[in-house]
Amino acid sequence: MKVCSAAGCDVGMDVDLQELTIVHYPDPCLRKVCEPITRFDDDLAAFAARMIELMHAGKGVGLAAPQVGILKRLFVMNATGEEGDDCVFVNPEIHDMRGNKEAEEGCLSIPEVYVQVRRALRCRIVGQNLAGEPVEVDLEELPARICQHETDHLNGVLILDRMGPGDRIKVRKRLRELEAAYKSRGSR
């Protein structure tokens, strides 16, 4: 797996799953396009399980691999918050987007920022599961929104790129705070 670094997010190294944490804006790995996953093994399953733990700990409904510094095309989600409703999508692609609705979104990588984002009401997600088997699911409403949000992460796109001018003004101060905190921590 590739672990993101401040030097360009392309450092290959072994990953200690317990050391993974959610990275915050403006970490550069949030702006990178992720690579497809080609190896389906126990390490991938363990990585997905750790991501699910982090998603639940952060009280989120979705989490993409670049949000933990891994530049691979995988995300986890749980639209209901119920145990047993966790889903993992590997190498996902969004198809057949229909309708649209604007709604408030937040992001575990941009804490305390909530903006209005227009998304398709319905979509089909095509990808693979943790065994590498094909998966195709039709989604609507919140699950469709989550899949679009997380797939954006895999392409280096943030909710900040989709917000309107009013939200841009509203969140400007918080973004400056996140930028200052990132700068004071230095590179990862």
User: CA 83 to CA 69: how far, in whole Å?
Assistant: 26
Asked whether the beta carbons of 149 and 27 are under 8 A apart, the reply is no
The DSSP result for 158-169, as a single string, is -GGGT--HHHHH
Phi, psi (deg, nearest 5) at residue 123 = -160, 165
Active site residue 141: no
- List the catalytic residue out of 53, 150, 177, 179: 150
Asked whether the beta carbons of 24 and 110 are under 8 A apart, the reply is yes
Contacts of 99 (CB under 8 A, 6+ apart): 120, 121, 122
User: CA 105 to CA 92: how far, in whole Å?
Assistant: 20
User: CA 77 to CA 86: how far, in whole Å?
Assistant: 6
User: CA 123 to CA 170: how far, in whole Å?
Assistant: 30
Residue 147 Ramachandran class (φ > 0 left, ψ -120 to 50 alpha, else beta): alpha
Active site (catalytic) residues: 150
